[in-house]
Amino acid sequence: MDTIPDQAMAMAAETPEVNLKDPSLYFNRELSWLEFNRRVLNEARDLRHPLLERVKFLAIFSANLDEFFMIRVSGLKDQIAAGVSAVPADGMTPTQQLDELRARVLPLLRDQRRIFYDEIMPALEAAGIHLLCYDQLAPEECDRLRDYFQAEILPVLTPLAFDPGRPFPHISNLSLNLGVTVRNKEGETRFGRVKVPPSLPRLVPIHDGARFVWLEEVIAANLGVLFPGFEIVEAYTFHVIRDADMEIQEDEAPDLLETIEQSLRQRRFGPVVRLAVDEAMPEAMVKILTENLEVAPGDIYPLSPPLAMASLWALNRLDRPNLKDPPLIPAAPPQLRDLSAAADIFAAIRRGDILLHHPYDSFQPVLDFVHAAAIDPDVLAIKQTLYRVGQNAPVVRALLEAQRNSKQVAVLVELKARFDEESNIGWARALEAEGVHVVYGLLGLKTHSKITLVVRREPGGLRRYLHLSTGNYNAVTAGIYTDLGLFTCDAELGADATELFNTLTGYSTQTYYRSLLVAPTAMRERLLDLIEREIGHRRAGRPAGLIFKMNSLVDERLMRALYRASQAGVPVDLIVRGICCLRPGLPGISDTIRVISIVGRFLEHSRIYYFENGGAVEVYMGSADLMPRNLDRRVEVLFPVKDARIRGYIRRTILEVELSNNVRAHELQPDGFYLRRQPGAGEPVIDSQAWQLAHPTLGGLGAPFK
């Protein structure tokens, strides 16, 4: 890794002092996220993806953007309303950010529609899948759809009038609607609203299953049934996004669970932050919506239909395997195969630490671990943190079984996991009903760490077994997110885990842990120390280097530390999927820093922090990104990888293959834009995710990349 020539270090020493707080050295967080979503959108163009996977990326782009407006754009508006004067490291005020966001978002949305109409639609038609407009249907198809409307759609619809006797109806968050103008017999026109029911298929299949029409068009064609005695003058779609960020005043909420339930209900009624309208909608109708929804002109987005394109996910459910990625068949590490008894998994862990790399490795061993603990008579206690477990949660069922088997079970359920609150409330209640000790974390902090502790009685005394992870205990996302998990019975890590759980469930001011790096108490300071140590190694002529893989890089102090490392000549490779506010490639400041982002079939989610450390390599993995929210406002854990073989595997077979990716990797340029890497002449084509699919980890003992 130590490839920077010695003269670079000498030149760095001669570089004039630079103010590392200069705003020009940093990218804006929100604009950086938009560039990430642009990379997602560009995957829809990539012909190397099967067709329905390209459609999926269009849907993901829309869903991402909706959430961005609900949380980040609404937050900027709140800052303006509150008169917040503080600015991020890049120096942009909230108003400047909103102006620049609109200038970039509207072209992106229009680009999405160009891809859909000019590239995706012709390809779908060539594959025999037809998304039709209502006026393209044959008369007999219209007849069948009219019957379908009467039987399946009409009973669900609620037409709402707006006139002097009836107020403007509430338009809920994320709703797709038809704005309708009707005329009575006296020639007076009125406005009406019809919500497109989210409970019905957005793409209505016509009889052969390969031809579809949009649900809103079926409704629009039958509006006369909803407004009998009125002439239908016009109908246009609009889509509403509201502020969905919940603010929980925990110190004033005696029952956090009930408070969050109330906030979930209120989420539907936040102020509108984006109104997308059919670009053909007349000004008079736009004015009605604008005035009654209290929308600023800058929050209106006129677009060609269809709106709310996240619904394109439905096409991925078509039974067309030739148009999708090959089925994922995850592997099981040899250490965890053919286990015949619950105790066998503990014996396997005693023989050595075991690494799992999801989704390439099966998530089943994690479920087997918790289930084995639930039924093994020698297991005395299970403690676990749950952040996002999903609707169908086998890990929770195993914990319930453990409680019924008289184990001591303690579970921290994070109720404030955004958009998973409702699911987590349900599981918390189910666990409490069985007598499980359920806690909701520390006041003012989200608990984002991923850890399971099992205490087992053995001939030599009690032994603690751990599963530590970068990802959630969610069997569904484990099949689409890349994450790393470690089974270990290391005594120091077990002792640290016990003390961490005692902090989460009881009273403690502990800040020191033997092996774990824990936020918000000491993680940032320890990471800063480790970066400074690499600088010291470089200056002393010892091997030095940093490879950090994460979702986002925003924290200003850590970015300044990385700049200092680069100025000292330390090679710094950053694999940052999403937001990166650091500016690479600046002469005398970040010459040795390279930043890549990988967007592919799976969502890159693992966090790895690699330190060359003069040749005595250290590697940490865990739940934390380098963001103020992770380091200051969450309980996060980074855990060391103590097994030298696994450390070598992570370096040679995960990090090196990702850094060599020349198919799905995009490299960040000094101007803030990303260039997609392409294989050079004679270079092998390297797609890191495809490579990982073809090369099992073998529990952390697999073949090296090079």
pLDDT tens string 470-515: 999 999 999 999 999 999 999 999 999 999 999 988 877 788 899 9
Residue 210: φ, ψ to 5°: -120, 0
Q: Is the pLDDT of residue 26 over 90?
A: yes
What is the SS3 assignment for 40? helix
Region of 308 (left: φ > 0; alpha: ψ -120 to 50; beta: rest) is: left
Among residues of the chain, what percentage have pLDDT more than 90? 78
Confidence of residue 33 (pLDDT cuts 50, 70, 90): very high
Q: Are 610 and 653 in contact (CB under 8 A)?
A: no
Q: How far apart are CA 651 and CA 156, in angstroms?
A: 56
The burial of 494, by beta-carbon neighbours within 10 Å (0-12 exposed, 13-18 middle, 19 or more buried), is given as buried
Q: Are 615 and 57 in contact (CB under 8 A)?
A: no
Question: Domain extents for the chain?
Answer: 6-26+517-694, 159-306, 334-505
Q: Are 584 and 590 in contact (CB under 8 A)?
A: yes
CA dihedral 352, 358, 360, 365 (to 10 degrees): 50
Least reliable range by pLDDT among 301-305, 339-343, 481-485, 654-658: 339-343
Sequence-ordered strand ranges (E) for 445-590: 446-447, 451-458, 461-469, 481-488, 517-519, 546-550, 572-576
Q: How far apart are CA 201 and CA 223, in angstroms?
A: 18
Q: How far apart are CA 125 and CA 316, in angstroms?
A: 15
Per CATH, 6-26+517-694 and 159-306 having the same topology is answered: no
First to last CA, the chain: 14
Q: What is the CATH number of domain 334-505?
A: 3.30.870.10
- Is the bond preceding residue 164 a cis peptide, omega within 30 degrees? no
Residue 574 DSSP class: E
Sign of CA dihedral 553, 418, 599, 660: positive
Q: Is the pLDDT of residue 691 over 90?
A: yes
What H or E segment, with its residue span, contains residue 631? helix 628-632
Tell me, what's the pLDDT at 261? 52
Does domain 159-306 correspond to CATH entry 3.40.50.970? Answer: no
Confidence of residue 256 (pLDDT cuts 50, 70, 90): very low
Tell me, what's the pLDDT at 262? 55
Q: Are 54 and 45 in contact (CB under 8 A)?
A: yes
Residues serving a catalytic function are 448
The segment with the largest mean pLDDT, out of 3-12, 417-426, 549-558, 692-701, is 549-558
Q: Is the pLDDT of residue 253 over 80?
A: no
Confidence of residue 392 (pLDDT cuts 50, 70, 90): confident
- Is the bond preceding residue 107 a cis peptide, omega within 30 degrees? no
Q: Is the pLDDT of residue 159 over 80?
A: yes
Does domain 6-26+517-694 correspond to CATH entry 3.30.870.10? Answer: yes
**Does the global pTM surpass 0.85?**
yes
Residue 8: φ, ψ to 5°: -65, -35
The burial of 317, by beta-carbon neighbours within 10 Å (0-12 exposed, 13-18 middle, 19 or more buried), is given as exposed
Other residues' Cβ atoms within 10 Å of the Cβ of residue 111: 16
Instruction: Give 187-235 pLDDT, tens digit per residue.
Output: 999 999 999 999 999 999 997 778 999 999 999 999 999 999 999 999 9
Tell me, what's the pLDDT at 19? 94
Tell me, what's the pLDDT at 165? 79
The tokens of 444 are what?
A: 């003012």
Among residues of the chain, what percentage have pLDDT more than 70? 92
Q: Is the pLDDT of residue 348 over 80?
A: yes
Tell me, what's the pLDDT at 205? 92
Tell me, what's the pLDDT at 1? 53
Nearest to 447 by CA among 624, 200, 187: 624
